[in-house]
A = this chain, B = another copy of it.
Amino acid sequence: MQVKLIDHTQNPEKVVAAAARLCYSPLGAMEIMDNFVPEQVENFLAKLTELGHDSPLEHASFTFAVEGISRACSHQLVRHRIGVSFSQKSQRYVKEKQFEYVVPKSIQKKDQAKLFDKVMADLQKQYEILLVAGVPAEDARYVLPNACVTNIVITMNARSLHHFFRLRCCERAQWEIRELANLMLAEVQQVAPTLFAKAGASCETEGVCYEGKMSCGKAPTIAELQK
A residues near B (Cβ < 8 Å) are 2, 4, 6-12, 14-15, 18-20, 22-30, 33, 50-52, 55-56, 58-59, 61, 63, 65-68, 70-72, 74-75, 78-79, 81-82, 85-94, 97, 101-104, 106-107, 110-112, 115-116, 119, 122-123, 126, 129-130, 133-136, 138-139, 141-147, 151-153, 155, 157, 174, 206-208, 210-214, 222, 225-226
State which of B85, B103, B226 has its C-beta within 8 Å of the C-beta of A208: B226
Question: Are B211 and A52 neighbours in the complex by a CB distance under 8 Å?
Answer: yes
Q: Which B residues are in CB contact (< 8 Å) with A103?
A: 142
Write the nearest CB–CB distance from A62 to chain B, whole angstroms. Answer: 9
Which of A18, A90, A93, A153: most chain B Cβ within 10 A?
Answer: A153
Question: Are B23 and A89 neighbours in the complex by a CB distance under 8 Å?
Answer: yes
Question: Are A28 and B9 neighbours in the complex by a CB distance under 8 Å?
Answer: no
Write the nearest CB–CB distance from A24 to chain B, whole angstroms. Answer: 5
Copies of the protein in its oligomer: 4
State which of B15, B30, B75, B93 has its C-beta within 8 Å of the C-beta of A23: B93
A120 and chain B: residue at smallest CB distance: B143
Q: Which B residues are in CB contact (< 8 Å) with A82?
A: 81-82
With A and B bound together, what is the CA distance between A15 and B9 in angstroms? Answer: 12
Write the nearest CB–CB distance from A133 to chain B, whole angstroms. Answer: 5
Q: Which B residues are in CB contact (< 8 Å) with A110?
A: 130, 133-135
Question: Are A88 and B210 neighbours in the complex by a CB distance under 8 Å?
Answer: no
Q: Which B residues are in CB contact (< 8 Å) with A211?
A: 51-52
